[in-house]
């Protein structure tokens, strides 16, 4: 295998953009290797035309590229049938599609079970169903940031029609036991959906091994372009869903009074698809396959273990981090605070004694301070407000790693944190 | 030191040792302004006599930009006529801070101005009510 340093050399962002940035915001999006950028340029240079139903050869070639991309990406997540993969814009769209289409079959009193560590994209679409009387429940976490399986099981009831859970928390970094959750869901007769936006890019993911019914992921978090993602579904289930968007591509016949629909996956791909995105994501998958997802996972385990070691050595008393410390159940996501600020609502009244100036440094100040030292992290609620409030803080700062990060980046993070601590002391 | 560094130091000084910090017991107006995204909070109490802000205090919590700018703004408007305060706009606050702030941090900077303008609007509404 090539060295990680050589791998970083494949990314024009680090070598040609003129920025000497320590990029630690990979849970939000990732940089792109030259092979991905080249694949997109090559597509537009040589193959661009609209896919499907073009009778001319170029259109057939474009269709071929699009469908080969589907086959390649489906295989990457362990699917043996490319028809199980519908292209969508991102994991968010996949989850909206599922909530909408599965929602048709739900009735008043039915329940959807989520976890408190979900991203807003796996909360808000389900809340839309509350209008028709569907109840949305949340399984809690343990103090160490792992999922509370007892609470999960107690909330899994006869009324639970759907369980939708994240594979890896984008805030805590917790890697959930998806197989166990899926088994419990299936034993209960519930559909099991996995939000794999933070796992597919970072570890081997096999839909057969996990036995999930549906799975959502985003291309841009795994070296691919923005605007392309995947919805996996067991074929009978996927094909059985009513369509989401209507338009071209997704129909069989259209009359003035009714239409019939194509089979999955086309059923869910209304309109001209993002062929550039599919081709780019396929190139990203090729690139990751050469490195090997086991190696990606090991690399990130090393980085998160090293982070916890640095955290202890740093001696920054006010530094508090969240999530399990065992690298076996932890993704490459490090979320922390320099002192904690508790959340409040407009109904609260501030008292003089509430004032916390000096005892904590707001995550926005932390992120701005790190930015001064060219370290890019994210600060805020990370699209997980319920979890942030569950942790009883207004916000957190988050460093998230990928294949082009090294231990030196983590050294730089902690050096900068120490400088910020002194600045605000 | 660059201007940016000097202005950062001034802001941090206000953040660490805020001016006009606390609450006025017999305030004419009291208002809490809050940004749910980052949790920045400023609660103003102001005393208005003869269309002039005779006293103003704030308490709050949040980042250096939200709290430091509240300290600086309360300094600036104490003793000022209401009509003058109503003319203070977003650019004035950014100029007062003298820092290059991105759009998300600008919201922090403007939190106390929003609170102040709402206080003034509430006061005028009451005055028009004939009380």
Encode pLDDT of B75-103 as tens digits.
999 999 999 999 999 999 999 999 988 88
Are residues A303 and A167 part of one domain?
Answer: no
Q: Could you give the count of Cα atoms lying within 13 Å of A9 in the half-sphere of its Cβ?
A: 5
**A134 sits in which H/E element:** none
Cross-chain Cβ contact B32/A368 below 8 Å: no
Instruction: Quote the domain boundaries for residue B61.
Output: 3-125
Tell me which long-range contacts B100-106 makes (C-beta under 8 A, separation of at least 24). Answer: B100/B4, B101/B65, B104/A364, B105/A364, B105/A368, B105/B63, B105/B65
User: Helix-strand-coil percent breakdown of chain B, rounded to 5?
Assistant: 50, 20, 30
Q: Best of B16, B61, B102, B115 to disrupt the A interface by mutation (most A CBs within 10 Å)?
A: B61
Query: Does the residue B20 lie in any domain?
Result: yes
Distance from A349 to chain B by nearest Cα, in Å? 8
Which of chain B's residues have a Cβ under 8 Å away from the Cβ of A346?
32, 34
Nearest CA in chain A to B45: A350
User: Are the CB atoms for A413 and A370 separated by under 8 Å?
Assistant: yes
Query: Does the residue B39 lie in any domain?
Result: yes
Distance from B17 to chain A by nearest Cα, in Å? 9
- Rounded Cα–Cα distance for residues A37 and A11 (Å): 10
Which of chain B's residues have a Cβ under 8 Å away from the Cβ of A363?
38, 63
**CATH (domain of B61):** 3.90.1010.10
Please enumerate in sequence order all residues whose Cβ is within 8 A of that of A130, keeping only pairs 6 or more positions apart, or say none: A136
Other CB atoms within 10 Å distance of the CB of residue A157: 13
Query: Does the residue A57 lie in any domain?
Result: yes
Query: Does the residue B131 lie in any domain?
Result: no
Provide φ and ψ at A100, rounded to 5°. -70, -50
Query: Does the residue A83 lie in any domain?
Result: yes
Query: Does the residue A332 lie in any domain?
Result: yes
Nearest residue, CB atoms, B105 vs list A345, A346, A364: A364
Which of chain A's residues have a Cβ under 8 Å away from the Cβ of B109?
none
Please enumerate in sequence order all residues whose Cβ is within 8 A of that of A259, keeping only pairs 6 or more positions apart, or say none: A246, A251, A252, A253
Check if A343 contacts B (Cβ < 8 Å): yes
Provide φ and ψ at A336, rounded to 5°. -150, 170
Are residues A347 and A362 part of one domain?
Answer: yes
- Rounded Cα–Cα distance for residues B27 and B91 (Å): 28
User: Are the CB atoms for A216 and A230 separated by under 8 Å?
Assistant: yes
Distance from A342 to chain B by nearest Cα, in Å? 8
Query: Does the residue A135 lie in any domain?
Result: yes
Query: Does the residue B130 lie in any domain?
Result: no
| Stated length of chain B | 131
**Residue that is last in its domain, among A235, A266, A290:** A290
- Rounded Cα–Cα distance for residues A100 and A126 (Å): 8
**CATH (domain of A10):** 3.90.1150.10
Are residues A234 and A371 part of one domain?
Answer: no
Query: Does the residue B34 lie in any domain?
Result: yes
Q: Which residues from B are below 8 Å from A when comparing CB atoms?
A: 12, 15-16, 18, 21-23, 32, 34, 37-41, 43, 59-65, 67, 104-105, 108
* Nearest CA-CA partner of A269 in A93, A423, A409: A93
Chains A and B: how many Cβ contacts under 8 Å? 66
Burial-class residue A128 by CB neighbours within 10 Å (0-12, 13-18, 19+): middle
Say how many domains are in chain A.
Answer: 2
User: Are the CB atoms for A230 and A217 separated by under 8 Å?
Assistant: yes
Query: Does the residue B109 lie in any domain?
Result: yes
Say how many domains are in chain B.
Answer: 1
Cross-chain Cβ contact B21/A395 below 8 Å: no
Nearest residue, CB atoms, A350 vs list B12, B60, B105: B60
Q: Which stretches of A227-305 are assigned E, i.e. beta strand? A: 229-233, 251-254, 259-261
Which of chain A's residues have a Cβ under 8 Å away from the Cβ of B64?
362, 365, 424
Are residues A43 and A21 part of one domain?
Answer: no
Q: Are strands A375-376 and A259-261 parallel, antiparallel or unpaired?
A: unpaired
Cross-chain Cβ contact B34/A352 below 8 Å: no
Are residues A321 and A361 part of one domain?
Answer: yes
Check if A369 contacts B (Cβ < 8 Å): no
User: Are the CB atoms for A65 and A43 separated by under 8 Å?
Assistant: yes
Nearest residue, CB atoms, B39 vs list A354, A358, A394: A394
Instruction: Quote the domain boundaries for residue A74.
Output: 36-290
Q: Best of A353, A365, A388 to disrupt the B interface by mutation (most B CBs within 10 Å)?
A: A365
Sign of the alpha-carbon dihedral angle for A322, A328, A329, A333: positive
**Residue A242 DSSP one-character state:** P
Query: Does the residue A396 lie in any domain?
Result: yes
Annotated catalytic, A168? no
**Residue that is last in its domain, among A262, A290, A318:** A290
Sign of the alpha-carbon dihedral angle for A335, A387, B115, B100: positive
| Burial annotation B102-114 (CB, 10 A radius, 16+ → b, else e) | eeebbbbbbbbbb
**CATH (domain of A88):** 3.40.640.10
| Stated length of chain A | 425
Which of chain A's residues have a Cβ under 8 Å away from the Cβ of B62?
341, 362, 394
One digit per residue, pLDDT tens: chain A, 425 residues? Answer: 899 999 999 999 998 887 789 999 999 999 999 999 999 999 999 999 988 877 888 888 899 999 999 999 999 999 999 999 999 999 999 999 999 999 999 999 999 999 999 999 999 999 999 999 999 999 999 999 999 999 999 999 999 999 999 999 999 999 999 999 999 999 999 999 999 999 999 999 999 999 999 999 999 999 999 999 999 999 999 999 999 999 999 999 999 999 999 999 999 999 999 999 999 999 999 999 999 999 999 999 999 999 999 999 999 989 999 999 999 999 999 999 999 888 766 556 666 555 555 678 999 999 999 999 999 999 999 999 999 999 999 899 999 999 999 999 999 999 999 999 998 87
Report helix, strand or coil for B56.
Answer: strand
| Burial annotation A83-122 (CB, 10 A radius, 16+ → b, else e) | bbbbbbbbbbbbbbbbbbbbbeebeeebbbbbbbbbbbbb
**Residue that is last in its domain, among A257, A290, A323:** A290
* Nearest CA-CA partner of B112 in B88, B131, B80: B88
Check if A339 contacts B (Cβ < 8 Å): no
Query: Does the residue A424 lie in any domain?
Result: no
Cross-chain Cβ contact B39/A356 below 8 Å: no
Query: Does the residue A383 lie in any domain?
Result: yes
Check if A353 contacts B (Cβ < 8 Å): no
Residue B30 bridge partners (DSSP): B45
Instruction: Give residue-wise pLDDT tens across range B13-67.
Output: 999 899 999 999 999 999 999 887 777 889 999 999 999 999 999 998 889 999 9
Residue with tokens 């996972």: A297
Are residues A245 and A308 part of one domain?
Answer: no
Are residues A242 and A319 part of one domain?
Answer: no
Are residues A108 and A90 part of one domain?
Answer: yes
Query: Does the residue A364 lie in any domain?
Result: yes
Query: Does the residue B76 lie in any domain?
Result: yes
Residue of A175, A215, A383, A403 marked catalytic:
A383
- Rounded Cα–Cα distance for residues B34 and A403 (Å): 39
Residue with tokens 């929003």: B114
User: Helix-strand-coil percent breakdown of chain A, rounded to 5?
Assistant: 45, 20, 40
């Amino acid at each position: 295998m090539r060295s990680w340093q050589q791998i970083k050399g494949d990314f024009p962002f680090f070598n040609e953009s003129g920025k000497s940035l320590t990029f630690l915001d990979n849970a939000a999006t990732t940089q792109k290797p030259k092979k991905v950028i080249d694949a997109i340029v090559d597509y537009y240079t040589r193959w661009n035309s609209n896919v499907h139903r073009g009778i001319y050869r170029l259109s057939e070639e474009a269709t071929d590229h699009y469908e080969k991309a589907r086959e390649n990406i489906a295989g990457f997540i362990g699917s043996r049938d490319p028809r199980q993969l519908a292209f969508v814009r991102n994991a968010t769209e996949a989850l909206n599609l599922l909530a909408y289409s599965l929602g048709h079959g739900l009735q008043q009193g039915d329940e959807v079970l989520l976890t408190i560590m979900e991203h807003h994209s796996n909360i808000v679409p389900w809340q839309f169903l509350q209008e028709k009387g569907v109840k949305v429940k949340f399984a809690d976490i343990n103090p160490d940031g792992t999922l509370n399986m007892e609470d999960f099981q107690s909330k899994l009831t006869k009324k639970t029609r759907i369980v939708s859970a994240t594979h890896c928390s984008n805030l805590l970094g917790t890697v959930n036991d998806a197989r166990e959750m899926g088994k419990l869901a299936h034993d209960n007769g519930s559909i099991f959906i996995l939000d794999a936006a933070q796992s597919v890019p970072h570890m081997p993911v096999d839909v057969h091994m996990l036995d999930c019914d549906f799975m959502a992921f985003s291309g841009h978090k795994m070296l691919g372009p923005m605007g392309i993602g995947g919805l996996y579904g067991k074929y009978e289930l996927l094909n059985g869903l009513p369509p989401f968007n209507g338009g071209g591509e997704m129909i069989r016949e259209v009359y003035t009074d009714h239409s019939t629909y194509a089979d999955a996956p086309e059923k869910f791909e209304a309109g001209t698809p993002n062929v550039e995105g599919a081709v780019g994501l396929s190139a990203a998958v090729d690139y990751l396959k050469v490195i090997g997802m086991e190696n990606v996972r090991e690399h990130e385990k090393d980085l998160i273990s090293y982070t916890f070691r640095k955290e202890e050595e740093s001696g920054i008393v006010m530094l508090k981090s969240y999530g399990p410390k065992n690298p076996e159940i932890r993704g490459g996501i490090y979320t922390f605070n320099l002192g904690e600020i508790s959340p409040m609502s407009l109904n609260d009244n501030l008292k003089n004694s509430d004032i916390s100036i000096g005892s904590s440094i707001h995550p926005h100040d932390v992120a701005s301070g790190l930015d001064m030292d060219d370290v890019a992290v994210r600060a805020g609620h990370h699209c997980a407000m319920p979890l942030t409030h569950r942790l009883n803080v207004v916000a957190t700062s988050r460093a998230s790693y990928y294949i082009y990060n090294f231990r030196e980046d983590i050294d730089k993070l902690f050096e900068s944190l120490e400088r910020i601590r002194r600045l605000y002391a | 030191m660059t201007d940016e560094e000097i202005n950062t130091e001034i802001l941090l000084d206000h953040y660490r040792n805020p001016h006009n910090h606390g609450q006025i017991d017999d305030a004419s107006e009291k208002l809490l302004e809050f940004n749910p995204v980052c949790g920045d909070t400023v609660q103003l109490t102001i005393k208005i006599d003869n269309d002039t802000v005779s006293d103003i205090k704030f308490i709050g919590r949040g980042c250096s930009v939200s709290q430091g700018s509240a300290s600086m703004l309360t300094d600036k408007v104490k003793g000022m006529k209401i009509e003058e305060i109503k003319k203070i706009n977003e650019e004035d606050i950014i100029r007062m801070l003298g820092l290059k702030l991105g759009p998300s941090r600008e919201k922090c900077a403007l939190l106390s101005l929003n609170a102040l303008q709402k206080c003034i609007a509430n006061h005028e509404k009451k005055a028009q009510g004939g009380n």
